[in-house]
Structure 1
Amino acid sequence: MAGTYSFDVVSQVNMQEVDNAINQAKKEIEQRYDFKNSKSQIELLKDSVKIISDDEYKLNTVIEILKGKFVKRGISPKALNFGKIEKANLGTVRVEATLINGIEKEKAKEISAEIKASKLKVQTQIMDDQLRVSGKNKDDLQAAINLLKEKDFSIPLQFTNYR
């Protein structure tokens, strides 16, 4: 038997699936009657998504369409971190949503503190943009995964390298 077991807690998005979800949302917007003659558009930048629309109501509708497409493609809507809605030229409004890739240090500390507060016999280690959880008992690791799934850390979490 091995001495310790471990898994990594990561927060990653598949950029190909993000691109597919955005393309599907664009098609739906083009086909919907309530968006006829609308200036609504979605643009994928390097690590963010720019959304432009005629007014705030239509902008919120575009955001909901995009979130729905994300869910259908297996991407958590929590992967989008929306900024403030700004006025743009020609009477339009825009918002930029950054894609969350990796766990920030503060968020990793919060997750680590949550695991330590649960009194499970596991250790946590922050490694760049991920968190490694290790322990001698596989059951404790399973309990840690279930604990993290129950809590809402406002970012999507995946569990990899379980060994």
Structure 2
Amino acid sequence: MPSFDIVSELDKHELQNAVDQANKEVTTRYDFKGTDSGFDLNGNTVTLKTESDFQLNQMYDILVQKANRRGIDVKCMDVKDPDVQLKSAKQVIEMREGLDAPLAKKIIKAIKDSKLKVQAANQGDSVRVTGKKRDDLQQVMQLLRGMEDLEMPLQFNNFRD
């Protein structure tokens, strides 16, 4: 019986490359000369450090641009409130991955409401979809790609015939 998994994964290697490219751009830009500005990656957490709130916003834009070029969706970024003091500004961005329970329920409900002849089951941090026909599974993929209100990027893997 054909099946596939719906997941939300983060490519950590591409994230590292995006942070490295953003650091390189910040060190070469004129408006950041003389400041101790930079990005710091620790696990799934990116920390932005600079001197002012304005520069923090510019650094965030640089990170988003580099991440998009590397195929990292901005939806997986959980931006925390900036910590701005007199001569320093810091902001933490958590990179989320995996499907949490409310999002998995939302996906399963959308699949069941579509009246396609498939079954969807929550597998922890993924959703497994099984059906008798390969075409039904491809229709589920199209349905989920068309949904605008999902707060995480989705990938479809482990497709089996």
- Same fold (TM > 0.5): yes
Letter in 1 for 2:119: Q
Out of 4, 26, 44, which is 1:29 matched to?
Answer: 26
Q: Secondary structure at the residue paired with 2:17? A: helix
1:39 maps to what in 2?
A: 36
1:92 is aligned to 2:88: yes
Separation (CA, whole Å) in 2 of partners of 1:139 and 1:67: 36
Letter in 2 for 1:133: V
CA-CA distance at 1:138 after TM superposition: 1.2
Separation (CA, whole Å) in 1 of partners of 2:91 and 2:116: 41
2:64 maps to what in 1?
A: 67
Out of 106, 131, 147, which is 1:135 matched to?
Answer: 131
Return 5+ residue gaps in structure 1 as ranges.
none
Return 5+ residue gaps in structure 2 as ranges.
none
Task: Indicate if the aligned counterparts of 2:52 and 2:84 stay in contact, CA closer than 8 A.
Answer: no
1:113 maps to what in 2?
A: 109
State the Cα deviation string for residues 27-66 of structure 1 (Å, max 9, x = none). 0011111211223221101221111222222111111111
Question: Normalised by the size of structure 2, how large is the TM-score?
Answer: 0.92
Letter in 2 for 1:137: K
Out of 52, 72, 79, which is 2:76 matched to?
Answer: 79
Letter in 2 for 1:158: Q
Q: Secondary structure at the residue paired with 2:159? A: coil
1:12 maps to what in 2?
A: 9
Separation (CA, whole Å) in 2 of partners of 1:111 and 1:14: 22
Separation (CA, whole Å) in 2 of partners of 1:53 and 1:148: 39
2:158 maps to what in 1?
A: 161
Letter in 2 for 1:23: D
1:50 is aligned to 2:47: yes
Taking every aligned residue pair, what percent have the same amino acid on both sides? Answer: 37
2:100 maps to what in 1?
A: 104
1:149 maps to what in 2?
A: 145
* Aligned alpha-carbon RMSD (Å): 1.4
State the Cα deviation string for residues 83-136 of structure 1 (Å, max 9, x = none). 122225x53222211111211111111111121122222111111111111111
Separation (CA, whole Å) in 1 of partners of 2:147 and 2:157: 18
